[in-house]
Structure 1
Amino acid sequence: MRNRNVLALTLASAAALVAGPVTLPAAAATAAPAPHPGAHCPQLSKKLSWYGDNRARLQRVIDERGTCSNPHLGHGTKRPVAAFDWDNTITKNDVTDATISWALRHDKILRPKSWKSSSKWMTAAGHRALTKACGTKVAVGKPLPTSTNGACADEILQIREDGTTMSGAAAFEGTWNHRRTVPQYAWVPQLFAGRTVKQLESYAKKARTEALAAPIGTTRTIGSHTVPGYVRYYDQQRDLIRTLKKAGFDVYIVSAGSEPVAEVWSRSVGIDRAHTVAIRSVLDGKGRITTWNQGCGGVGVNKGDVIPYIDGKRCFVNQEIYRVKGKKAWDKQRWSKRIAIGGGDADTDVTFVGDATGAHLVLNRNKGEFMCRAYDNADGRWVVNPMFIEPLPQKSGTYPCSTSAYNAPDGGRTPVLRGDGSVVPDQVDSVHGEVY
């Protein structure tokens, strides 16, 4: 069980280590699966709509892998594991963005000594834009008046969303592994540097209350940006997690968001702190968040070089769940050290979800690399479902799997390859939010 106190490293030690909802139509009628061992296991609710035979396919994995069907599991043998992304997988809309939105509207971002120091990849243009918009009148370490200074809020949101300034200049530059991190994701917990974990959790709780109370479809205007103003837990995902836990699975959340924020939300689906993995900030000697975070796969404390992002999610699954140490955590593990069920919605989830041995659950948000893998369905275990609230319509054209859907480590876009090296052909978007 992970202890939050492990985060309380000093900056000095960190430096040393571095050297009205739109609902889905009822699922299409399908033949009942043949009887199989484990049919007495906890069952997914038949009152909640899934696409096609997705409920039955997930139920089959639960029945086959759960401790409910194998009494030897859980008694000296490690229990089966299910792991899910959070934002737009368990909830509709992004809970980290909801927290940023609330923080900006309530003046909770502290002015850094230098915006350049807030990220190791911050450009001079990004530094200048933030300094100009947010000003220098507020003392270092004091709250910026982002509730009334729309220009400051605009620059922060624009950099968070697109990695560019309001004028279109690049906010980040340099070299990073594009399958292990993305600067604007790493920048989110860095924005809260100087705050304590308890403070950030309190912002997340208030944002959660506000977002859950807002009607579906609500938006908010911050500066010149229009952002989602509501969040909902997906009932189907709540039911899936509840059923998995009853069936004897260990269920984890693996998110590219800030860990204190993810923990606030995950508690309500019965997932505790020890089973919630996200960007884990290093704390200073006074318990305040710093711009450093804990690493993975042989990479120590760092400034965002490694976060739970694409291949980074596999690394954190292997390290935090299966205790694989060092560089081996980057590798695909043997069958017994891989999750049974994985779920996600975006390219950031493609590697760890693809590692699942029983089912790869995909909520379709038209993300290229992920949907190429899902529709290619190389092992027959990919389960594609439209979003349960406000699902997207069919993507026009095809996914460019054969040319440019893969996110290369150097930032380039290349063909998606199967395990045997063959190229995945372009795929049509066939599971979407229109009538089916």
Structure 2
Amino acid sequence: MGNRHVLALTLATAATSLAAVAASLPAAAATAAPAAKRAHCPQLSKKLPWYGENRARLQKVIDERGTCSNPRLAHGGSKAAKHRPVAAFDWDNTVSKNDVTDATIAWSLRHDKILRPASWKKSSKWMTDEADRALTTACGTDVPVGAPLPTSTDTACADEIFNIRESGKTMSGAAAFAGEWNHRRTVPQYAWVPQLFAGHTVKELESYARKARKEALAAPVGSIQTVGTHVIPGYVRYYEQQRDLIRTLKKAGFDVYIVSAGSEPVTEVWSGGKSGVGIDRKHTIAIRSVLDKKGRITTWNQGCGGVGVNKGEAIPYIDGKRCWINQEIYGIKGKSAWEKQDWRHRIALGGGDADTDVTFVGDATGAHLVLNRNKNEVMCRAYDNADGRWVVNPMFIEPLPQKADPYPCATAAYNKPAGGFGPVLRDDGSVVPDQKDTIHG
């Protein structure tokens, strides 16, 4: 008892002395410690509007996981790099407004950059005879194999190609793809995009993406363009809020990745450099084409999760995005890459806008950021907010109005692996009830 009283007296005396010293210091010295702490806490811009408390909620994750809580992350080195928190974002309609893959395809069709394949049927593992006939009829056989198709003037050919990419159907409405595939690991019309550019080098495809980018960024917001007879958005914009978020995350010591279901060379053109969002090739993951001996794109893709070189069976799509994150970021190989990992091997923050993003965004341990584009499965998860970490924001440019009907979460929002839809389930097996659309433009 006596020792405790002596200790208490000593501490009280020390506290009084420290207070006196602090009072005698200049104002600048007295505030040095808080200022030093703030230097380790990069802040999101308050000039860029977010919905509700979303900025504060994202800032909380940045502060808790980044340099604010662990200043060692600011100094680099192998130890710090090994333990960096990770953030991952989808690209199209998440970091950019509108689809950069569509912009590149549209530019390529308007400038005769699609080469005639030896066989349309062999351009995709799942292409139907109806689609093969429709493409052959529309695009003809006069152009030599490997030569550019005149899609800038041949409206029928441009229409068939773009319609199959857009909807998976021919202009007559016939299914363009058939057979079996895991609907949570791929979708044939997405896998077909890099296959469309077979015969080109990566540098050629990058040059088309750069030209499409320049055109799309120059076009006014709200503008449209015509491809064949299809009318599609004519502009693309970087979301300044997402640029700022990515910049702040990087300053706070996060490793930031893009994980897209687009063609990797196209995504890299948009993600890299100061004019993009400063994410390099190493940190950009998308569909990776296998190249031939001359460096030309083939209809084959690199694989994930124990799936080797393939024709599109394992692209970064729904569960495929989890697989590619686990494999490329965390080094998890084989079938385990398809599985949800422990807390230490999951991203801290994930951002997306569609069902193709729902798995990896849901894996995030800090925040699940979703831009509302009225996509059923991801919005069911977001509005159910089972772990309290889902952050829903309207699109920053031309946000959608409120969806009139509730999302059909209890019956038909989950994308089944075999195709079709079913109820969305929580981790405990309970059914997510239908959800109203409450955060919108």
Amino acid at match of 1:407: N
CA displacement, residues 327-373 of structure 1 (integer Å, 9 cap, x when unaligned): 10000000000000000000000000000000000000000000000
State the partner residue of 1:137: 142
Q: Does structure 2 conserve the Cα–Cα contact (< 8 Å) formed by 1:181 and 1:306?
A: yes
| Cα distance in structure 2, aligned partners of 1:324 and 1:347 | 24
User: Aligned AA for 1:303?
Assistant: K
| Separation of aligned partners in 1, 2:68 and 2:277 | 21
Where 1:132 maps in the other structure, the secondary structure is helix
Deviation at 1:393, TM superposition (A): 0.2
Q: 1:38 to 1:134 in 2, by over 3 A?
A: farther
Q: Which sections of structure 1, spanning at least 5 residues, go unmatched?
A: 1-34
CA distance in 2, matches of 1:286, 1:381: 48
Write the mapping of 1:26-425 to structure 2, written as runs, cut at 5 A. 40-73=40-73, 76=79, 77-267=82-272, 268-425=276-433
Query: How far does residue 224 in structure 1 lie from its aligned partner after superposition?
Result: 1.2
Deviations 1:111-137 (A, max 9, x none): 000100110100000000000000000
Q: Is the 8 A contact 1:38 1:69 kept in 2?
A: no
Using the size of structure 2 for normalisation, the TM-score is 0.89
Instruction: Determine the C-alpha separation between the residues in 1 that align with 2:162 and 2:228.
Output: 9
CA offset at residue 71 of structure 1? Answer: 2.8
- Cα offset, 1:78, TM superposition: 1.7
Tell me the amino acid that sits aligned with residue 49 of structure 2: S
Quote the Cα distance in structure 1 between the aligned partners of 2:72 and 2:436: 43
Cα distance in 2 for residues equivalent to 1:319 and 1:205: 29
- The 2-side partners of 1:227 and 1:295 are apart by 31
The residue identity in structure 1 corresponding to 2:264 is: E
| Cα distance in 1, alignment partners of residues 129 and 335 from structure 2 | 34
Contact 1:38 1:63 in 2 (8 A): no
Distance apart, 1:222 and its partner CA: 1.5
Letter in 1 for 2:414: Y
Which has more radius of gyration? Answer: 2
**Residue by residue, what CA displacement relative to the aligned partner does 1:5-25 show, whole Å, maximum 9, x if unpaired?**
xxxxxxxxxxxxxxxxxxxxx
Question: Any idea what the Cα deviations from partners look like across 1:310-334, whole Å, max 9, x if unmatched?
Answer: 0000000000000101110000000
- Higher helix proportion, which one? 2
Assess if the C-alpha contact under 8 Å between 1:121 and 1:173 holds in 2.
yes
The offset of 1:412, in angstroms, is: 1.7
Task: Find the aligned partners of 1:346 and 1:100 in 2 and give their Cα distance.
Answer: 21
Question: Does the C-alpha gap of structure 1 residues 261 and 66 become closer, same or farther in structure 2, counting only changes over 3 Å?
Answer: same
Identity of aligned residues (%): 80
> How far 1:72 moved relative to its partner?
4.1
1:397, CA displacement in angstroms?
1.1
Question: What secondary structure sits across from 2:71 in the alignment?
Answer: coil
Note if contact 1:255-1:308 (Cα within 8 Å) is conserved in structure 2.
yes
- Does the 8 Å contact 1:372/1:401 carry over to 2? yes
- Structure 1 residue 38, shift from structure 2 partner: 6.8
Residues 67 and 79, structure 1, Cα contact 8 Å, conserved in 2: no
**Matched residue type, 1:168:** G
Deviation per residue, 1:43-62 (Å, 9 max, x gap): 00000000000000000000
TM-score (norm 1): 0.90
Partner Cα separation in structure 2 for residue 258 and residue 412 of structure 1: 26
d(CA) in 1 for partners of 2:65, 2:37:
8
Gaps of 5+ in 2: 1-33
> How far, CA to CA, are the matches of 2:420 and 2:151 in structure 1?
35
The one-letter amino acid paired with 1:43 is Q
Partner SS state of residue 227, structure 1? strand
Deviations 1:167-195 (A, max 9, x none): 00000000000000000000000000000
Decide whether the 8 Å contact of 1:38 with 1:64 is kept in 2. no
One-letter identity of the residue aligned with 2:67: T
Figure out how many residues of one structure are paired with residues of the other and give that number.
398
Distance 1:412 1:69 in 2: 45
Partner amino acid, structure 2, of 1:274 = K
Counterpart-to-counterpart distance in 2, 1:38 and 1:244 = 17
Matches of 1:78 and 1:172, distance apart in 2: 43
Structure 2 counterpart of 1:27: none
Distance, in Å, in 1 between the alignment partners of 2:305 and 2:109 is: 34
Q: Which amino acid aligns with 2:318?
A: I
Which has the bigger relative contact order, CA under 8 A and spacing at least 6? 1
RMSD after superposition: 1.2
Matched to 2:164, the amino acid is: I
